[in-house]
Amino acid sequence: MLTSITDGILCCLTGKAASLVMPVDSSEPADTFEFVEVKPGRVLRVRHIMPERRAPVVTEENQVKEPEQEKGSGNSNNSSSVHCKRKITVYRNGQLVIENLGDVLHSEIVQCQDGDLEPCSTVEVELADYKEVPTSPEPKPAPPLSMVGEQKPAPPPRRRRRKPKRMVMIDSEREISSCKGTHSDVALFFVHGVGGSLDIWGSQLDFFSRLGYEVIAPDLAGHGASTAPHIAAAYTFYALAEDMRAIFKKYARKRNILIGHSYGVSFCTFLAHEYPDQVHKVVMINGGGPTALEPSLCSIFQLPSCVLHCLSPCLAWSFLKAGFAHQGAKEKQLLKQGNAFNVNPFVLRAMMSGQYWPEGDEVYHAELTVPILLVHGMYDKFVPIDEDQRMAEILLFAFLKVIEEGSHMVMMECPDTVNTLLHEFFLWEPDMSKKNAAKTDPDKTVIVNGVVAQTPKPNKPMDK
């Protein structure tokens, strides 16, 4: 604590920033780490684990035969084709109306469904405050009819037609199939958030690499062992998003699954929007609501870097208390092993001030046609659960799972639960055999937070 205060005072007197991020020590094999120069002088550390696969078998006819475990890729008959058709209308009064016109996979709050199809439905919500979603208004009683002699009743007043401000149409076909570790065209990308590093994914990287998956996890600029430019413009959302685009283009396969945590969810959303044909599925862990990013002007992170350097022990303690459901020796060790919240104060301040992404609003998220799994830790003090519930309502294919014993760093607190949940989602594919049965059912609808949806059925695990 005294060292931090001394360094902060010297920083203020000399006008120089404290030492920048240095490469962190890691017990992982050196051959799994790569350093990628995304721009001149901008180098990111990437952990890339390429599984060992069986070599192709050469037959007598000199034709290469694929090994048995390579069967069942995205081009096989196991994939399901889903018609994604949506009409999104934004009115001038801030009202958002989403009409699902195609085959819509049922989105169930808190629990994952087995991919049942629901009939066409309409979602009508207000953009003003996503935490207070208006419910369906009670029907107003009709005014009494005045009968004077044989005078006809007055016709009802004509409803003024609203003029839409913006209208978006989505009409596409998406192939959804299970992704196994034995499929050579599948790659998993893990993106951490502010103050983290690729080491927070240690349990997930080891688990899925053992299953045969190719995994890629980068350190954001200024985090972990990546370079830390001393310029605030290097840490804006768009600068970091371009870094992730470069990493994605370098390692992407035919079918890619993006897994993001906290701020990293925004970069996964960006990539899924930019590369819809290559992104197969997305996992959002404690990412928050589908709102445009805008930095807070009344945040502690707006203080000078030297002041933040003095407060770094308090900030680390606050992150430990808010990021974990429990604050014991195990959680402190996890925080140390994951190198979380161990970044330069200048980088931290620039990251928080650079979270400006006006395009990432509700319409932007509603345009996504990729299946998405939402994971939320019940004790998360950074992201309220109603934000992830709101995200589940806006997204086209969304499953929300709440882990009761987890918090913001749920992938470190409950690695086995998260790994199992993610693996089931990777292997999941929609059951299209129930399509006709869903269409023949009568229109039974319920209203949940202003969303008109099909009557929920008993919870079932996702198909493996």
Q: Measure the CA angle with vertex 391, ends 418 and 273; round to 5°.
A: 90
Helix (H, G, I), strand (E, B) or coil at 293: strand
- What residues have CB less than 8 Å from 453, skipping those under 6 apart? 106, 107, 118, 121, 445, 446
Q: Which residues contact 206 (CB under 8 A, 6 or more apart)?
A: none
Beta strands in 28-179, from DSSP E residues, in sequence order: 33-39, 42-49, 57-58, 64-65, 80-91, 95-100, 104-105, 117-118, 121-126, 164-176
3 state SS of 343: coil
Residues 6+ apart with CB under 8 A from 63: none
Q: Are strands 372-377 and 398-403 parallel, antiparallel or unpaired?
A: parallel
Taken in order 284, 409, 448, 91, the sign of the CA dihedral is: negative
Burial class from Cβ neighbours inside 10 Å (0-12, 13-18, 19+) for residue 152 reads exposed
The structure tokens listed for 122 are 């309409």
Check if 80 is active-site.
no
Confirm if 372 and 397 have CB atoms less than 8 A apart. yes
Distance, CA of 185 to CA of 74 (rounded, Å): 8
Catalytic residue among 380, 388, 407, 423: 380
3 state DSSP class of 261: strand
Catalytic residue among 262, 266, 312, 407: 262
Nearest to 393 by CA among 342, 453, 318: 453
Q: How far is CA 332 from CA 160, 318, 327, 368, in A?
A: 60, 12, 7, 37
- Catalytic residue flag (residue 199): no
| Residue 380 annotated to the active site | yes
Which residues participate in catalysis according to the annotation?
262, 380, 408
